[in-house]
Structure 1
């Protein structure tokens, strides 16, 4: 399994596990879980532009703000699926979404098999959490934008990701 040391967590180096995705790649498939524990795959949003917002845990400040921001942006974007992925349990995600009014974005869990984390190279080996970042995938499932943040506690570049979406 591919490993990369390209990011830090609170200033300390961490290891990302899995294949790094790059612009132009065919989007790898993955299986996450919805709040009812049913599977979620790219097939669920086939034919749509996809913005995948990757967060370590919705129970932290930056992750909360990132999820709320993209939920708000989703209401203004036509034919775009906003998907937030973390390793939080689906029940915790459902509670968070209810408490924060997250209704426009799909929030799914990668806790079981870390399928997304491994297939997209976002899994932090030391913590079994996902590195913060964003992936934009077009309607034909080609990766058009990728950001792996260099410091997990920092915000991603929201504007660049949204520009990538709007250009499609």
Structure 2
């Protein structure tokens, strides 16, 4: 579905047609989830924050301006909520090593996507990971990512290419 199709769905939603929400959700859920997961690195908390993201987006849908990308708008909401959650958890508790071991130790029940995502988390720094996830999962163009992250287009393109090289090297070494 193109950005213009998504904008049509958003306009319908702004006009009170809740029947289009499911379509809008399915077109944006991956980019929203992986943006959150990139910050929190925890599947279940990321799912909770994803729900909060869509609730907040629905409550603020009238503030969305069609001159901007809806995906960028909702990812910004998701990232802000994820950062707030990260900071809240950081204040409340120290890092729970058992959670990391449990997350990384479930090799038998993990899907290929989860394994790939873990590789991405392990090999790439936060910025590289965000660029790859926004481009691959979120289907955003490098130009949109550059605008979203306030970085030059050349920097985004270089970081994406460099990230792919790192991932290829890691995957070849792990085989």
Fold shared per TM-score above 0.5: no
Q: TM-score range by the shorter chain?
A: under 0.3
**Larger-Rg structure:** 2
TM-score by length of 1: 0.25
Higher relative contact order (CA 8 A, sep 6+): 1
Higher-strand-fraction structure: 1
TM-score by length of 2: 0.24
Higher-helix-fraction structure: 2
